Amino acid sequence: MKRTLVAAAMLALTLAAVRPRPAAPVDDSARLDLGGPDDVSGFARATEPRPLRLPEDHGPHFEYQTEWWYYTGNLAAGDGRAFAYQFTVFRRGLSPGDPPAEPGLRTNQVYFAHLALTDEQGQRHVFAERWGRGAADLAGAAAEPYRVHVDHWQAHGNAGGGVRIDARHEGFGLALELEPRKPPVLHGDRGLSPKSDEPGNASYYVSLTRLATRGRVVLGGHEFEVTGESWFDHEWSTSALGPEAEGWDWFSLQLDDGRELMFFRIRRRDGGFEPASGGTLVERDGTTRRLGADELRIEVGDHWTSPRTGARYPAAWELHLQSPALRLRLEPIVADQEMRTSIVYWEGAVRVSGTAGESPVQGRGFVELSGYHAPMQGLF
Amino acid sequence: MLPRTLLATGLRDLLRRPLHTALLVLGVALGVAVVVAIDLAGDSARRAFVRSTDAVIGRATHAVHGGPSGVPVAVYRDLRRRPEVSAAAPVVEATAFSESLGRTSVRVLGIDPIAESPFRDHLGGGSLRAPGFSRLFTEPAGCVISAAAARRHGLALGGPLRLRVDDRALELRVLGLIEASPDRAAALEALVLLDVGVAQSLLGLGDRLTRVDLILASDADPSGLAATLPPGLRLAPASEQAQTAVQLTEAFHLNLGALSLLALVVGMFLIYNTITFSVVQRRTVFGTLRLLGATPGQVFGLILAEAALASAVGTLAGEVLGYALGQGAVRLVTRTINDLYFVLAVGDVPMTAAVALRGALLGMGAGLLAALPPALEASRVEPVAALRPSTYEGRARVLLPRIATVGLALALCGAAGLGVSDGVTAAFASLFAIVLGTALAVPLLTATLSGWAAAPLGRVAGSLGRIAARTVERSVSRTGVAVAALMTAVSVTVGVSLMIASFRATVVNWLELTIRADLYVGAPSGGGVRATPAIDPALPARLRALPGVADLETIRRVRVASGVGEIALGASELGATGGGLYRFAPGSEPDPWARVQAGSIIVSEPFAHRHRLAAGARLEIHTDRGPVVFPVAGVFYDYSTEEGQVLMARAVYERHFDDRAVSSIAVHAASGTDLAGLAARVREAAAGRALFVTDNRSLKREALRIFDRTFAVTDALRLLAVAVAFVGVWSALMALHAERTRELATLQALGLTPGLLRKLGLLESGLMGALAGLLSLPLGALLAWILVDVINVRSFGWTMELHYEPWLFVQALALSLAASLLATVYPLWRLGRREIAAALRHE
């Protein structure tokens, strides 16, 4: 769900502020007046649970405004050197329905992708962003064969029924094969994940919470053979955040006892949290348990202030789940995993340690923190 | 250093003779004004061009261009994925004619809003956060224009904007307005921005782009990238487009600048005249000053200081006047540039430091230079001689042959210079030397000729006639200069008029030869010759099938890259008329048209001149199949573009290019066909398309109208030169009469009635006018020859038949007579009001 919000925000933001090259000076003497708001009527809204149809549902849902395909993962090279990655493709429908079938660049779909690589040993985090229009194969999404891409950054179905990610930027890149280890998880009510008490303020949210991953990462001219585990989220919706929402914290954790935990909470400007916050606990066998907002207690232990943007983010957490009993300590593997892209947010890998009942438990995960640099509210 | 009291003398003198001072100031002011106005206009046009180029090119370092059919989007897609490309943006560009934007030509720019920000700031960077942004993609015909243009033309957000591009009439909707800072607003005013996909769709471009703008990584190897492009596509530095256009207008700006200098030269006569007059009038003052101990250097310095002061005031006034004139001149210059070269919108004409400085240097320089001879003269005179009024004329008479000799030498040097160098600047320098040299000889000629005129004038008008002739002869230091000034202005007028008349006659002949079909069908681009509108390729076949159509000719005009930069290429399909449509310059191969059918090309005369090509040469042209070298079979006469063009046969074009459109169609009617009926049928066949159908008479008329408009600037300059000369004659006559106050009063006291005095005055000025007119005729003819056969050929490469229109010579004579007679009116009127006794006492 988390990303729901991120993406919704970013997309609503319409992608636009888009400054792929920070080096390019923007002349502020030109101001564009577009007169009125976008017309968002006509898009379908997520109101009822719907049966999951695969493989079609891995592809785009043009009747909804916003959609994204989110890959994150923790990896290790042969010598134990730890890496983490994020590769996401976002889709924004500018009008409801399929893009026009014209030979040129005419389209009603805009895509953008984020790519990030974290190097724990080198304490480095590198990232990049690409934008593309959904025309002429510049950027797009398809179910069969599965492929989401912006330019040459892509995730596509491989021969073994898994997914291959190829994304290369100046100085870093990924070439990974992902193999699902568990069946798809439907969050919320059979995949319908509400964002607020308002009906329709919800998304369809499907995850593959554990994918065995192997391949190569490239960083600073060196190539590393890596193995590890990835997490995949696919979410689509047409919705808006309420005026009281400021941002959100989102967690996806893979524990070494074979379970996974997803949890998000929407922060309000008054310091409280949206009651529709919640999560999912995935058992070893893939069965799931929906978690309500009040079932998980989160204590923030530390903060980190970005020297680049001045944003102050939480930087350590204690998670307490009553039943089943779970106490987890989360620590970022690199403090600065801030994504200074069109929208500034923090998305990074964390190390997990704690107890499950009485037994010790370890793990890896990803945390996403939005709205700390500038409130998300107003961008929707 | 001049003593203060001496300076005060000079200053008081300037104040004591307001009219004289005014003339001095006027001479400088007019000259400076003309130069500044033209300079300003040219400067603004150039800056506007740079800005509008920046507006379109932005921060791109390179661009991938295609041939006439553009760049496939697949190439853009692949370029985005290459590591050496830091950023890429697709661009669709077209020239449109817009009724909604003041019936002018505008540039339609199709861009991808999400790929734009590294390249251009029109969409204001972060302001894309503005709600409504997505409508740029989703509205079927949404566009963004500048807020300034919207205000000027009364367009509102959400309102319609009508455009014609090629043969399409489009109605767009204004979705957004760009509020830009004043210095950028002008560049945006002639720009209509669309989403690139919407633009492709509206213009029927399919999967084609005009170009792909690139920012290459700093360590990228452009030639490596270029080698990977499909044939027909070309990687070029972004600066190339701007350079081509700047080179294109170089000759135009040079010619304009030279003509404006002529006005300053005429202004110099005025200054010289006025200062000489003041020196002559104050000889006694200078003599007294010398007797009181002033050194020759101090007297020299005094006169120069006066001239400097007057020049400074005149320069200042000239700058202000020039600024005002510049606002008008820029419209003429822009109009010409639009007709001849490319679409340009010049929003503002601000005074720049460079223009002001050039004007000031010229004004002060010309003022001081013109004051130099009289200042030298005054300082050299012995104190005692200075107290005798007649010495100056005496000395002048002695000097006349020497000055004339110098002038003759100067003119000969100028003539020799024509043969030595083949540059345009050198040709103008020669022209100036000849004009100036001739002008220097004019005082001697004036003295001699008016001496000869005494007897015949005496027979015609009695003793008054003789007196008039002798007066002109005797006061030659004054009358000679006035005649020289008038002669210079009139001869320039004659030269320029003859040049334009010859050019026009040549163009008329050429139009007769080339516009022979009965009806012409084309798309109204309004974008000057660089626009290459495309008409539906299916139309020629439909027209051919119409009853009454005997034959068709088509031409496709495109701009393509070549070994010599971007060129205008025409693909010509001729009917039964064959190659008879073109006339070839000597040196072309036998039957060039047959060779064109076989795969050669022919080039127009200006093209051959610009690129130093002749028959037998080879030219590499970038076709859709890659670069191909074409042999040049001949050079044809063509006056349609200054840039020049290359022609190939339609069949050859279709072998090398994928483009199948045509740009205009000529229809030959079967004999006996009712043309009005045929025109109606043609219009019907072209229904739904924004095409014009016109007969050959209207087309010729339109061509000549544009021709005449092109020379509007030249005409304006010519008039200004005459105006300056008129003031010169006027001031000379004023000086003459003022100086002769006592003489005239004596004549009056002896019984000459005011009527007779006026007659005398008229006879004198009539003689001066006639002399100036007569002398200007041979010089004017010579100038016309230099302009037509030397400067035009060197600047533009056109062959023109020099046509000595007799009527223009008559006009010139009448002009100089009228100018000098008109200039007498005020001095004579003043003369009549003078009290004889007072005038006599004055002495």
More confident residue, B80 or B251: B80
Task: Give the integer Cα–Cα distance in Å for A228 and B364.
Answer: 83
How does residue B131 score in pLDDT terms, banded at 50, 70 and 90? low
Size of interface A-B (CB pairs under 8 A): 183
pLDDT of residue A126: 96
Q: Is B545 helix (H, G, I), strand (E, B) or coil?
A: coil
Contacts of A151 in chain B (CB under 8 A): 77, 80-81
Whether residue B830 has pLDDT greater than 80: no
Task: Give the integer Cα–Cα distance in Å for A46 and A194.
Answer: 9
Which of B117, B128, B197 is the closest to A14 by Cβ?
B128
pLDDT of residue A376: 56
Measured at the CA of B716, the angle between CA B264 and CA B488, to 5 degrees, comes to: 45
Task: Give the integer Cα–Cα distance in Å for B517 and B622.
Answer: 32
Task: Give the integer Cα–Cα distance in Å for B526 and B533.
Answer: 10
pLDDT digits (tens, 9 = 90+) for A211-266: 999 999 999 889 999 999 999 999 998 865 666 778 889 999 999 999 999 999 98
Q: Give the range with max mean pLDDT: A230-239, A359-368, B91-100, B399-408.
A: A359-368
Q: How many helices (H) and strands (E) in chain A?
A: 1, 24
How does residue B789 score in pLDDT terms, banded at 50, 70 and 90? confident
Contacts of B59 in chain A (CB under 8 A): 24
Amino acid at B206: G
pLDDT of residue A298: 94
pLDDT of residue B557: 86
Domains in chain A, please, with CATH? 2-16+39-370 (2.40.370.10)
Characterize the bridge pairing of strands B142-146 and B168-179: parallel
pLDDT of residue A364: 97
Contacts of A110 in chain B (CB under 8 A): 114, 137
More confident residue, B10 or B814: B814
Whether residue B249 has pLDDT greater than 90: no
Q: With an 8 Å Cβ cutoff, are A104 and B197 in contact?
A: yes
Listing DSSP states for A162-228 in one string gives: SEEEEEEETTEEEEEEEEE-S--EE-TBTTEEESSSSTT-EEEEEEEEEEEEEEEEEETTEEEEEEE
Whether residue A56 has pLDDT greater than 90: yes
Whether residue B112 has pLDDT greater than 80: yes
Give me the count of residues in chain B.
Answer: 843
How does residue A30 score in pLDDT terms, banded at 50, 70 and 90? low
Average the pLDDT over B216-245 and give the result.
Answer: 84
Which of A26, A34, A112 is the closest to B175 by Cβ?
A34
Q: State which residue of chain A sits closest to B141, comparing Cα positions.
A: A106
B210: Cα separation from own chain's centroid: 31
pLDDT of residue A2: 45
Average the pLDDT over B663-667 and give the result.
Answer: 88
Q: What is the DSSP letter of B670?
A: P
pTM higher than the cut 0.80? no
Contacts of B180 in chain A (CB under 8 A): 29-31
Which of A15, A32, A132 is the closest to B127 by Cβ?
A32
Contacts of B580 (CB under 8 A, 6+ apart): B593
- How many Cβ atoms from other residues are within 10 Å of residue A375's Cβ? 16
To the nearest whole Å, the CA of A126 is away from the closest chain B CA by 17
Least confident range from A259-268, B178-187, B382-391: namely B382-391
- How many Cβ atoms from other residues are within 10 Å of residue B182's Cβ? 11
**Residue B185 forms contact with A (CB below 8 Å):** no
Q: Which residues pair with A292 in a beta bridge?
A: A278
Q: State which residue of chain B sits closest to A20, comparing Cα positions.
A: B118
pLDDT digits (tens, 9 = 90+) for A74-110: 999 999 999 999 999 999 888 899 999 888 999 999 9
To the nearest whole Å, the CA of A235 is away from the closest chain B CA by 21
pLDDT digits (tens, 9 = 90+) for B400-426: 888 899 999 999 999 998 888 778 788
The answer for A 128-157 residues in CB contact with B (under 8 A) is 131-133, 135-138, 151-152
More confident residue, B441 or B475: B441
Interface test with A, best of B79, B85, B128 (most A CBs within 10 A): B128
Kind plus residue range of the DSSP H or E element containing B95: strand B85-98
Q: Is B635 helix (H, G, I), strand (E, B) or coil?
A: strand
How does residue A22 score in pLDDT terms, banded at 50, 70 and 90? very low
pLDDT of residue A19: 33
pLDDT digits (tens, 9 = 90+) for A298-316: 999 999 999 999 999 999 9
Task: Give the integer Cα–Cα distance in Å for A21 and B119.
Answer: 10
Which own/partner contact pairs does A222-226 have at CB distance under 8 Å and 24+ positions apart?
A224/A77, A224/A81, A224/A83, A225/A77, A225/A78, A226/A75, A226/A76, A226/A77, A226/A83, A226/A176
Which of A30, A38, A105 is the closest to B121 by Cβ?
A30
What b-and-e string marks burial along B228-251, b requiring 16 or more CB atoms within 10 Å of the CB?
ebeebbbbbebebbbebbeebbeb
Q: Give the range with max mean pLDDT: A201-215, B241-255, B431-445.
A: A201-215
Looking up tokens 């009448």, which residue turns up? B814
Least confident range from A324-328, B237-241, B811-815: namely B237-241
With CA atoms as reference, report the closest residue to A214 among A58, A70, A78.
A78
Q: With an 8 Å Cβ cutoff, are A107 and B128 in contact?
A: no
Average the pLDDT over B692-704 and give the result.
Answer: 83
pLDDT of residue A58: 94
pLDDT of residue B566: 84
Which of B138, B177, B178 is the closest to A94 by Cβ?
B138
pLDDT of residue B342: 61
Which of B117, B124, B157 is the closest to A35 by Cβ?
B157
Contacts of B202 (CB under 8 A, 6+ apart): B141, B165, B168, B170, B172, B194
With CA atoms as reference, report the closest residue to B319 among B367, B376, B357, B373.
B357
pLDDT of residue B512: 84
Amino acid at A60: P
Q: Give the range with max mean pLDDT: A108-112, A353-357, B362-366, B524-528.
A: A353-357
pLDDT of residue A166: 97
pLDDT of residue A97: 92
**Residue A104 forms contact with B (CB below 8 Å):** yes
**Residue B179 forms contact with A (CB below 8 Å):** yes
Task: Give the integer Cα–Cα distance in Å for B48 and B342.
Answer: 12
Whether residue B528 has pLDDT greater than 70: no
**Residue B528 forms contact with A (CB below 8 Å):** no
pLDDT of residue B99: 80
pLDDT of residue A24: 34
Q: Which residues pair with A130 in a beta bridge?
A: A113
Contacts of A19 in chain B (CB under 8 A): 117-118, 125-126
Q: Return the structure tokens found at B373.
A: 């001879």
To the nearest whole Å, the CA of B182 is away from the closest chain A CA by 9
Contact B128, B113 (CB under 8 A): yes
pLDDT of residue A34: 58
pLDDT digits (tens, 9 = 90+) for B715-740: 776 776 677 667 767 776 776 776 67
Least confident range from B108-122, B726-740, B748-762: namely B726-740
Whether residue B392 has pLDDT greater than 60: no
Contact B174, A33 (CB under 8 A): no
Q: Return the structure tokens found at A86.
A: 């994020």
To the nearest whole Å, the CA of A221 is away from the closest chain B CA by 14
pLDDT of residue A380: 35
Q: Give the range with max mean pLDDT: A200-204, B54-58, B110-114, B283-287.
A: B110-114
pLDDT of residue A86: 97
pLDDT of residue A28: 41
To the nearest whole Å, the CA of B61 is away from the closest chain A CA by 12
Contacts of A26 in chain B (CB under 8 A): 117, 121, 124-126
Contact B762, B832 (CB under 8 A): no
Radius of gyration of chain B (CA): 32
Contact B834, B743 (CB under 8 A): no
Whether residue B488 has pLDDT greater than 80: yes
Give how far Cα B265 sits from Cα of B72, B258, B488, Å.
56, 11, 9
Task: Give the integer Cα–Cα distance in Å for A260 and A238.
Answer: 27
pLDDT of residue B340: 60
Contacts of B128 in chain A (CB under 8 A): 14, 16-18, 32
With CA atoms as reference, report the closest residue to A2 among A346, A363, A373, A356.
A346
Measured at the CA of B484, the angle between CA B284 and CA B827, to 5 degrees, comes to: 60
Q: With an 8 Å Cβ cutoff, are B81 and A137 in contact?
A: no
Give how far Cα B388 sits from Cα of B252, B447, B471, B555, Å.
53, 22, 19, 78
Average the pLDDT over B358-365 and give the result.
Answer: 86
Interface test with B, best of A28, A29, A34, A62 (most B CBs within 10 A): A34
Whether residue B126 has pLDDT greater than 50: no
Q: Which residues pair with B622 in a beta bridge?
A: B627
Q: With an 8 Å Cβ cutoff, are A29 and B207 in contact?
A: no
pLDDT digits (tens, 9 = 90+) for A158-202: 888 899 999 999 889 999 999 999 999 999 999 998 887 777 788
Whether residue A5 has pLDDT greater than 50: no
Average the pLDDT over B637-661 and give the result.
Answer: 89
Whether residue B390 has pLDDT greater than 60: no
pLDDT of residue B129: 46
**Residue A106 forms contact with B (CB below 8 Å):** yes
More confident residue, B387 or A263: A263
B567: Cα separation from own chain's centroid: 22
Average pLDDT, chain B: 82
Task: Give the integer Cα–Cα distance in Å for A205 and B666.
Answer: 65
Looking up tokens 């890149």, which residue turns up? A173
Contacts of A341 in chain B (CB under 8 A): none
More confident residue, B411 or A35: B411
Contacts of B220 (CB under 8 A, 6+ apart): B84, B85, B86
Least confident range from A96-110, B18-32, B238-252, B357-371: namely B238-252
With CA atoms as reference, report the closest residue to B791 among B255, B39, B247, B253.
B255
Average the pLDDT over B444-460 and give the result.
Answer: 89
With CA atoms as reference, report the closest residue to A36 among B299, B736, B132.
B132
Task: Give the integer Cα–Cα distance in Å for A379 and B657.
Answer: 49
Which own/partner contact pairs does B654-657 have at CB distance under 8 Å and 24+ positions apart?
B654/B571, B656/B621, B656/B623, B656/B624, B656/B625, B656/B628, B657/B67, B657/B68, B657/B69, B657/B558, B657/B571, B657/B623, B657/B624
The answer for A 11-50 residues in CB contact with B (under 8 A) is 13-21, 24, 26-39
Express as a percent the part of chain A with pLDDT over 70: 87
- How many Cβ atoms from other residues are within 10 Å of residue B101's Cβ? 25
Q: What is the DSSP letter of B61?
A: S
With CA atoms as reference, report the closest residue to B485 among B446, B453, B451.
B446
Task: Give the integer Cα–Cα distance in Å for A74 and A85.
Answer: 7
Q: With an 8 Å Cβ cutoff, are B179 and A108 in contact?
A: no
Q: With an 8 Å Cβ cutoff, are B205 and A104 in contact?
A: yes
Express as a percent the part of chain A with pLDDT over 90: 66
More confident residue, B839 or B86: B86
Contacts of B157 in chain A (CB under 8 A): 33, 35
Whether residue B185 has pLDDT greater than 80: no
pLDDT of residue B393: 60
**Residue B220 forms contact with A (CB below 8 Å):** no
Q: Return the structure tokens found at B355.
A: 């223009």
Average the pLDDT over A102-120 and give the result.
Answer: 93
Express as a percent the part of chain B with pLDDT over 90: 17
More confident residue, B134 or B194: B194
Q: What is the DSSP letter of A295?
A: T
Task: Give the integer Cα–Cα distance in Å for B657 and B229.
Answer: 17
Contacts of B121 in chain A (CB under 8 A): 26-27, 29-30
pLDDT of residue B56: 72
How does residue A13 score in pLDDT terms, banded at 50, 70 and 90? very low
Whether residue B162 has pLDDT greater than 60: yes
**Residue B134 forms contact with A (CB below 8 Å):** yes
How does residue B837 score in pLDDT terms, banded at 50, 70 and 90? low
Amino acid at B288: T
Q: With an 8 Å Cβ cutoff, are A16 and B90 in contact?
A: no
Q: What is the crossing angle of helices B239-281 and B353-380, to 10°?
A: 30
Average pLDDT, chain A: 87
**Residue B755 forms contact with A (CB below 8 Å):** no
pLDDT of residue B834: 61
- How many Cβ atoms from other residues are within 10 Å of residue A207's Cβ? 23
Contact B664, B699 (CB under 8 A): no
Q: Sign of torsion, CA A304 A305 A307 A308?
A: positive
More confident residue, B317 or B41: B317
